[in-house]
Homo-oligomer: A and B are copies of this chain.
Amino acid sequence: MEEGSGVLQNSRSDKRLIGGEGTHEEFEGNSSFLRVVETLLRLFPIVLSVTALVIMLKNSEENEHGSVSYTDLSAFRYLVHANGICAGYSLLSVVFVALPRLSSSMSINWTFFLLDQVLTYLILAAGAASMEVLYLAEKGNAATAWSSACSVFGLFCHKLTASIAITFVAVICYVFLSLISSYKLFTKYDAPDISNISKGVHISAFHG
Contact = CB atoms under 8 A, between A and B. Distances in A.
Interface of A: 1, 4, 7-8, 11-12, 14-15, 18, 30, 66-69, 72-75, 113, 117, 120-121, 124-133, 135-137, 141-147, 149, 175, 178-179, 182-183, 185-187, 189-194, 197-198, 201
Number of copies: 2
A177 to B, nearest CB: 12
Given A8-B187, A11-B194, 16 more contacts: A4-B190, A7-B190, A11-B190, A11-B191, A66-B143, A72-B141, A72-B142, A73-B144, A117-B175, A124-B124, A129-B132, A144-B149, A182-B182, A186-B189, A191-B191, A201-B201
A18 B68 CA distance: 69
A206 to B, nearest CB: 13
Chain B CB count within 10 A is highest, among A1, A128, A182, for A128
Nearest to A205: B205
Contacts of A7: 190
A92 to B, nearest CB: 22
A144 to B, nearest CB: 4
Contacts of A147: 144-146
Contact of A194 (B14, B75, B136): B14
A124 to B, nearest CB: 6
Nearest to A139: B74
Given A1-B183, A183-B1, A132 B75 contact: yes
Nearest to A127: B125
Nearest to A171: B121
A183 B148 CA distance: 47
B8 A143 contact: no
Nearest to A191: B11
A188 B23 CA distance: 20
Contacts of A4: 30, 183, 187, 190
